[in-house]
Amino acid sequence: MIKQYLKQAFRLLGENKLLSVISIIGTALAICMVMVIVILYIAKTAGFRPEVNRDRTYYLSVAMSVGKDDGRRLSFGSIGLPLIRECYYPLECAEVTTAIIRDRWNNQSALSMDGLKSSNGKVIQTDPAFWKLFSFDFIEGKPFTEADFESGIRTVVLSEHIARALFGSEQAVGKEMKLNFNVFRVC
């Protein structure tokens, strides 16, 4: 019975070739478009490492201010640390509140202490709550602590690539490096 259906389907496809090609291409494009939409949705909402809590995370990246008198003056910009400390750290409804400050457009240069080795990369300035929200596997060492952050001790967490470029191996805990002409200790 199935052989009969297949023979009939191929005969119908052969009778009007142009209409058959258009139907097959249209069906394939529709299926492809649905798959692309589903994949984009999953990639934006599913929790992949290091953003394992993406489904419970709210991102706030831009602030807008409006003029007091006439409301015609608008200003858009990134959120600074004073606003985060005043408005977002005290939130009781959030499990974890973290600040991430990064320059998306410029790479910064990390230098070894002798200045002979360097590597360019993206720098993310953050606080200790960042390590609670995101899940990272550390090859060596651990993230900086709340005490380091509050006391202003300059500590840095390096990627494998940067550690290899500056120190020759991934073992960089306790060593010092320069970033924007400031000395940082690798934790």
Strands 108-112, 176-179: pairing is antiparallel
Instruction: Look up residue 115 and give its amino acid.
Output: G
Contact 138, 182 (CB under 8 A): no
Taken in order 75, 81, 86, 92, is the CA torsion positive or negative? Answer: positive
pTM above 0.85, yes or no: no
pLDDT at 35: 96
**Predicted pLDDT at 71:** 66
In a 13 Å sphere around the CA of 106, the CA atoms on its Cβ side amount to 6
pLDDT in the model for residue 139:
86
Mutual angle of helices 2-15 and 17-45, in 10-degree steps: 110
Q: What CA–CA distance (Å, rounded) separates 120 from 108?
A: 5
User: Can the peptide bond before residue 50 be classed as cis, meaning omega within 30 degrees of 0?
Assistant: yes
Low-confidence ranges of the chain (pLDDT < 50): none
Rounded CA-CA distance 133/53 in Å is: 7
pLDDT reported for residue 147: 86
CA gap 113, 124 in Å, rounded: 21
